[in-house]
Amino acid sequence: MSDTTGAAEPAGIATALAEVRREIAASAASAERAPGDVTLVAVSKTQPVASLKAALATGQRVFGENRVQEAAAKWPELRADHPGLELHLIGPLQTNKVKEAVALFDVIETVDRPKLAAALATELARAPKHLRCYIEINTGAEPQKAGVDPADLETLLALCRNDYKLPVTGLMCIPPQDEDPALHFALLADLARRHQLSEISMGMSGDFPLAIRFGATHVRVGTAIFGTRLVSAL
């Protein structure tokens, strides 16, 4: 299934995708949720176009990328041939890349500060498009990490909703590496419920079944589908 670099071959990608989808369905069932409640975001950062095509050939249509520049190089051509594609930006967004990001992506998962919210609102007013935003929460309150502090969510959300009319529909988190993700998943799900946000993006290759148990509506899975990345991008 994998060659010596760790990157999966096309046949391996189809097999791995089927296995991840099976695990999603099983986790949803054991949490008494409908399998359709959980969307698989295939994280294709650093993966070559051949790998993206292998995933597209299986019917996968929702993908996550963490860099605007990389997505711009890989996706516009593929999108033309694959209607129904939904691209999620899951990496940090600088305000000077907002225009390009809005043109490329369908969901911006990493809104985490007023300046970025303002820039997104300005761009959407200039070039209207159906796009959804999630607010990224720094659930572990890690100093160096992206995401808004849970205590500041209410203020940022009010700003997005009332002042900027941004279409915020969900929350996203990346739990600290050295902690039990369960606490972070529970916190994110609770914040989403309290603020009436229907989309909850949490869970990666190592912990997506657990995230589904805690209410994830979107799981972001990379290496379990595509194999190890040649370049570390997180």
Ligand X SMILES: *Cc1c(COP(=O)(O)O)cnc(C)c1O
- Residues engaged in binding ligand X (CB under 6 A): 43, 45, 66, 90-91, 174, 204-206, 220-224, 234
Residue nearest to ligand X (CB): 222
* CB 66, min distance to ligand X, A: 5
Nearest to 229 by CA among 205, 202, 201: 205
Give least dist CB 62 to ligand X, A.
13
Residue 97 or residue 161: which is nearer to ligand X going by CB? 97
Helix axes 10-30, 49-57, angle to 10 degrees: 50
Nearer to ligand X, 123 or 207 (CB): 207
Nearest to ligand X of 34, 231 (CB atom): 231
| Nearest distance from C-beta of residue 37 to ligand X, angstroms | 19
> Which one, of 226, 231, 220, lies nearest residue 39 by Cα?
220
- For residue 86, the cross-strand partners are 62
Angle between helices 49-57 and 68-81 (to 10 degrees): 40
Smallest distance, Å, CB 126 to ligand X? 27
Q: Are 139 and 173 in contact (CB under 8 A)?
A: yes
Q: Which is nearer to ligand X, 121 or 200 (CB)?
A: 200
